[in-house]
Structure 1
Amino acid sequence: MNTKLNDCTYLVTGSAGFIGFYLTKRLLQNGVRVIGIDNVNDYYDLNLKKSRLELLMQYDGFKFIEGDISDKNMIMKTFEKYRPEIVVNLAAQAGVRYSIENPDVYIQSNIIGFYNILEACRHFPVDHLIYASSSSVYGANKKVPFEETDFVDSPVSLYAATKKSNELMAHTYSHLYKIPATGLRFFTVYGPMGRPDMAYFGFADKYFSGESIKIFNNGDFKNDLYRDFTYIDDIVAGIEGLIGHPPTETVPHKVYNIGNNSPEKLMTFIETLEQCLSNATGREVVFKKEFEPIKPGDVPATYASTDLLQEAIGFKPETPIAEGLQKFADWYVDYYNVK
């Protein structure tokens, strides 16, 4: 990271979240000042979020504000007080399936909350706004790998619709107010201290609770689900690389895929996780498996073309799933004191 960027004040929303935590930690390790905002909600294990925050609090450069980005007054006051030059908006209500059961919170956080961030960037101009979009915007697109130029006007979940809305809102604000903004379409991020609502984490939980895991591919190994599993360190390296590359077009708004560009069959991923947990525990781990139909809102294959990001910053993920899942398994066994 160059010296000029080191002198900036960074605002990271969702700093107690999975990606937000790792990005904030990397920035703090680089010696920069980071203002973190998070509402520390109970969508998943609060202890995990508190553990992440405790690690961040060890750094002198970290200032934490517990609050919700849907609180416009709090957002405006924070921007006015700290005048961040770089804003990374990772606060959002995540999860495809949860959006079917709890739509209100998605509108509150992902639409109203993001609008507040854009308004703050309008009134207190920033050098670069980076925000989380999602691979889910590609909906049920059949053509893979997904490319940024693909048609994305047919979302199959409310979560996906909110993320597509974020891209449209950011483009509009970039057009009207020249806010340099970059959206990132994340593809299945995993790693230690990850989100317990993600499949790989849930599989480990189920195994150690003596329960079977549910696999939503109908047991069809020939036409298995494909996913672009992307290790957290590769994601953070991509974000870090983009910080100093704000868009400079007439409308300064860009959207990039950020993924592994190397899809894995879901069953291969599961077998690798079994092996990694076996290594971590010193005993053979085999999941009890139940096969069910694919769920509403899920899609058969999601993986990214990352050519645009590679052209922009030389982005190239370096972590194979066997290595990334081993790091997760070792952390999980230690953190939960699994015997």
Structure 2
Amino acid sequence: MNYKTFDPSKTYLITGAAGFIGFYLSKKLIGQGCRVIGVDNINDYYDVNLKYTRLNQLEPHEKFTFIKGDISNKELIMGTFEKYKPNVVVNMAAQAGVRYSIENPDVYIQSNIIGFYNILEACRYYPVEHCVYASSSSVYGANKKVPFEESDFVDNPVSLYASTKKSNELMAHTYSHLYKIPATGLRFFTVYGPMGRPDMAYFGFTDKYFAGEPIKIFNNGDFENDLYRDFTYIDDIIEGIVRLLSNPPEGEVQHSVYNIGNNSPEKLMVFIETLEKALSNALGKEVLFEKTFEPIKPGDVPATFASTDLLQKAVGFKPETSIEKGLQKFADWYVDYYEQR
């Protein structure tokens, strides 16, 4: 296996630095002695206090520079590239969420299409060694063949969010072809962990429990054909990204796409039971969610399951944190964080 090890002498531009993955990646790189330029618009899609809590852990570091701004602002992005001349750019800024894309399509086009276009244009005029960007497992749509492999047909997205992520892959491929920009897309599979996104199911379930409200499960109460998800713990995601940063694609078109998933899908109901146990441990009392069952929502897919063979071949790594371990870390953090507020 021949891949380059991480280089701490580089300057990294990370968009979405106050977001879940962007924060952990920035923290990891700063800890390795890298210079990190973080960009984030701190939008209110979810609780901005959590975003500021993350930022407060980054800002004291002298190697971290924060720029509050939107990647859809081309002047800001061009100016940032010109001033800081990053060696590597990691685009984690995006409007996330499948269901929200049905209610608010404009923001997805603004951030995920125009914003990413601006990043690629900046890489064109201020060349970088590697442009890494967030794609999503949602590009696989309602594919029945599992596990999902990077070579699978992904031209039938079932949400606007998925369409924007597929568009990002096509745009990056084109810019790699035309301007020799080494680019890597990462198809993330249901990322979870402490300081995660409150719009994600596990976080929302926990919020509902503490609010004394029932949780909604969108599987029609069909336990035989329950939803499957490839839940991937944040530390595994970060390890995969960091290993890829110094290993840009080679070849005629320098563009690659990798799944980053746990390669071990869990039934949603098993995940919920594991979360109940983790919260029971954190609180020292039995936790059982009150549950209501509803039909699957438009844009949701019944199963996600990542093949991680390509990632393992490229950088010798596959995610393997169990949901028992990962959800316990989340539950401990949640109880501690919200008790202090």
TM-score normalised according to structure 1 size:
0.98
What's 1:137 paired with?
139
Judged with a 3 Å threshold, the aligned counterparts in structure 2 of structure 1 residues 44 and 159 are, in CA distance, closer, same or farther, namely same
What's 1:293 paired with?
295
CA–CA distance in 2 between the matches of 1:329 and 1:45?
18
Q: Deviations over 1:48-75 (max 9, x none)?
A: 0000000001211000000000000000
List gaps (5 residues or longer) in structure 2. none
Secondary structure at the aligned position of 2:330 is classed as: helix
**What pairs with 1:157-172 in structure 2 (closer than 5 Å)?**
157-172=159-174
Q: How many residues align?
A: 339
CA–CA distance in 2 between the matches of 1:69 and 1:296?
28
Secondary structure at the aligned position of 1:300 is classed as: coil
CA–CA distance in 2 between the matches of 1:213 and 1:2?
45
Secondary structure at the aligned position of 1:336 is classed as: helix
What's 1:112 paired with?
114
Structure 1 residue 334 corresponds to structure 2 residue 336: yes
Structure 1 residue 277 corresponds to structure 2 residue 282: no
CA–CA distance in 2 between the matches of 1:33 and 1:338?
31
Q: Deviations over 1:286-325 (max 9, x none)?
A: 0000011111001111110010000000112131000000
Q: Deviations over 1:132-166 (max 9, x none)?
A: 00000000111111100111001000000000000
Secondary structure at the aligned position of 2:131 is classed as: strand
The offset of 1:2, in angstroms, is 7.3
**What pairs with 1:151-230 in structure 2 (closer than 5 Å)?**
151-230=153-232
Runs of 4 or more off by more than 6 Å in structure 1? 1-4
TM-score normalised according to structure 2 size:
0.98
Structure 1 residue 239 corresponds to structure 2 residue 248: no
Judged with a 3 Å threshold, the aligned counterparts in structure 2 of structure 1 residues 5 and 63 are, in CA distance, closer, same or farther, namely same
Cα RMSD for the two superposed structures: 1.3
Identity of aligned residues (%): 77
Structure 1 residue 323 corresponds to structure 2 residue 335: no
CA–CA distance in 2 between the matches of 1:183 and 1:90?
11
Secondary structure at the aligned position of 2:257 is classed as: strand
Judged with a 3 Å threshold, the aligned counterparts in structure 2 of structure 1 residues 3 and 266 are, in CA distance, closer, same or farther, namely closer
Secondary structure at the aligned position of 1:163 is classed as: helix
CA–CA distance in 2 between the matches of 1:43 and 1:101?
12
CA–CA distance in 1 between the matches of 2:83 and 2:249?
26
